[in-house]
Amino acid sequence: MGNFSKHMDDFNMSTSKSDQRPLSPHLSVYKWQLHAITSILTRITGNALIVGVILFIGWLLAAATSESHYQIVNGIISSWLGKLVLIGSLWALWYHSLAGIRHLIWDHAVWLDINKSRLLGWFVVFGSFALTFVTILFV
């Protein structure tokens, strides 16, 4: 096993740009499906959330430091751009959470058939907007 993976590394290392051969088209020819879109959105929202995380930690550190620091950061998050980023992060958080629950359900080998998983998919999409709306109202 160890020798095999070392060999794979050499193979990748030796592939120069001129050697790379064309792939058959996929995104440009295949019809868009719910499962494909929900899947990539799960990845995108999960990783984009790091922006919101860094913003929150910056806010937390400012609160811990001094009043003047806090005013600066508070000003940033209260601006229209800051609010936009926060609301976007909130939606991404709900979307990623619901999509994660969908995966946790699948992990139990249930609702994997096309109709049930499609239904779950629509729950994730609509649920994320609904929950974002509800959170903004109450929070």
Q: Which residues bind another protein (CB under 8 A)?
A: 1, 5, 8-9, 12-13, 43, 46-47, 49-50, 53-54, 56-57, 59-61, 63-65, 67, 70, 74, 77-78, 86, 93, 97, 100-101, 103-104, 107, 135, 139
The CA distance from 74 to 14, in Å, is 51
Nearer to another protein, 41 or 101 (CB): 101
The tokens for 3 are 């020798």
Least distance to another protein from the beta carbon of 95, Å? Answer: 12
Q: Which is nearer to another protein, 107 or 114 (CB)?
A: 107
On whether the CB atoms of residues 48 and 90 are closer than 8 A, the answer is: no
- Measured between alpha carbons, how far is residue 15 from residues 3, 5, 69 in Å? 19, 16, 51
Residue (94 or 121) nearer to another protein, CB? 94
Whole-angstrom Cα distance, residue 78 to residue 81?
Answer: 8
The residue (of 101 and 125) whose beta carbon lies closer to another protein is: 101
- Give the nearest distance from C-beta 90 to another protein in angstroms: 8
Give least dist CB 103 to another protein, A.
8
Spatial separation of the C-alpha atoms in residues 67 and 116, rounded to whole Å:
52
Q: Work out the widest C-alpha separation in the chain, in whole angstroms.
A: 59
Q: How far is the CB of 58 from another protein (least distance, A)?
A: 9
- Give 90 or 121: the residue with its C-beta nearer to another protein: 90
For residues 85 and 49, what is the distance between their CA atoms, to the nearest angstrom? 10
